[in-house]
Amino acid sequence: MGTINNSAPLDSGMERIFNGNRQWVERKREEDPEFFERRAKGQSPKYLYIGCSDSRVPANEISGTEPGEMFVHRNIANMVVHTDVNLLSVLQYAVEVLKVKHVIVVGHYGCGGVAAAMSDKQFGLIDNWLTNIKDVIRIHEEELHAIEDEEQRLRRLVELNVVEQVINLSKTSIIQNAMKDPEPPQLHGLVYDLREGILRDLHVQTKLIKRYEHIYGMQ
Ligand SMILES: [Zn+2]
């Protein structure tokens, strides 16, 4: 009673993970015999990626980057929330210690988190998180309201949400301090299309961020 049967076959779901891992190790070693040895020495990624937890948007794969190139933070709907100690810790470490050159917020069309925020349904604890996206709707209510087609409206909200998260980045003291550096990190807002696999730059203008400097700016 209560003992774990070690002779039981591996859960077939987990077999997928271990087999996949062994095959990946083999493939990597074939391509580059010192791949793992070099990675073990340390990391100096150029990019911080802030993306959605959605299983269809894997950071390294969609950007064609290798382990070691990208520091990654993912949460539901790629949010930059100022009370999120996890996000702030990742951001501070990436910017101040790793000295990443680019901080990239990546949203994606077909985002379930964004769609849930657009609806009036309750989903449980996550509703508190989704309120941050509802704030984006409030800020851009007029523009969103003018879009009749529901899918188009959702797509636009995905884009606007990315823009607002880039603005949220620029409000943090971490980014504001980093901007005083001779080579400050660049902030970017991108959107990923699940249907095509294409990443598109939303060209979030630093001018747009500057517009709010009189409110959020800190010396
Ligand atoms: Zn998503």
Distance CA 164, CA 184 (A): 20
Given the residues 16, 27, 38, 56, select the one marked as catalytic.
56
Per-residue pLDDT in tens (0 to 9) along the chain, 219 residues: 455 555 555 567 999 999 999 999 999 999 999 999 999 999 999 999 999 999 999 999 999 999 999 999 999 999 999 999 999 999 999 999 999 999 999 999 999 999 999 999 999 999 999 999 999 999 999 999 999 999 999 999 999 999 999 999 999 999 999 999 999 999 999 999 999 999 999 999 877 778 888 999 988
Query: What is the Å distance from ligand 1's center to 142 Cα?
Result: 23
Query: What is the Å distance from ligand 1's center to 55 Cα?
Result: 9
Distance CA 213, CA 122 (A): 35
Most distant CA pair in the chain: distance in Å?
67
Query: What is the Å distance from ligand 1's center to 2 Cα?
Result: 40
Distance CA 73, CA 78 (A): 8
Predicted local distance difference test score (pLDDT) of residue 11: 66
Considering Cα of 183, then 101, then 175, then 97, what sign does the dihedral take? negative
Predicted local distance difference test score (pLDDT) of residue 212: 85
Distance CA 66, CA 56 (A): 18
Q: What is the DSSP letter of 67?
A: T
Whether residue 108 lies in the annotated active site = yes
Report whether 214 belongs to an annotated binding site. no
Predicted local distance difference test score (pLDDT) of residue 206: 75
Query: What is the Å distance from ligand 1's center to 174 Cα?
Result: 25
Distance CA 113, CA 191 (A): 15
CATH placement of domain 43-216? 3.40.1050.10
Report whether 54 belongs to an annotated binding site. yes
Residue type, 65: T
User: Using an 8 Å Cβ cutoff, are 95 and 102 in contact?
Assistant: no
Helices (H) and strands (E) in the chain, counts: 11, 5
Q: DSSP characters for 35-61?
A: HHHHHHT----SEEEEEE--TT--HHH
Given the residues 54, 73, 155, 188, select the one marked as catalytic.
54
In 3D space, the residue among 184, 188, 182 whose CA is nearest the CA of residue 209 turns out to be 188
Whether residue 52 lies in the annotated active site = yes
Given the residues 73, 108, 155, 188, select the one marked as catalytic.
108
Report whether 111 belongs to an annotated binding site. yes
Ranges in the chain annotated CATH 3.40.1050.10: 43-216
Whether residue 156 lies in the annotated active site = no
Q: DSSP characters for 110-145?
A: T-HHHHHHHS----STHHHHHHHHHHHHHHTHHHHH
Query: What is the Å distance from ligand 1's center to 81 Cα?
Result: 16
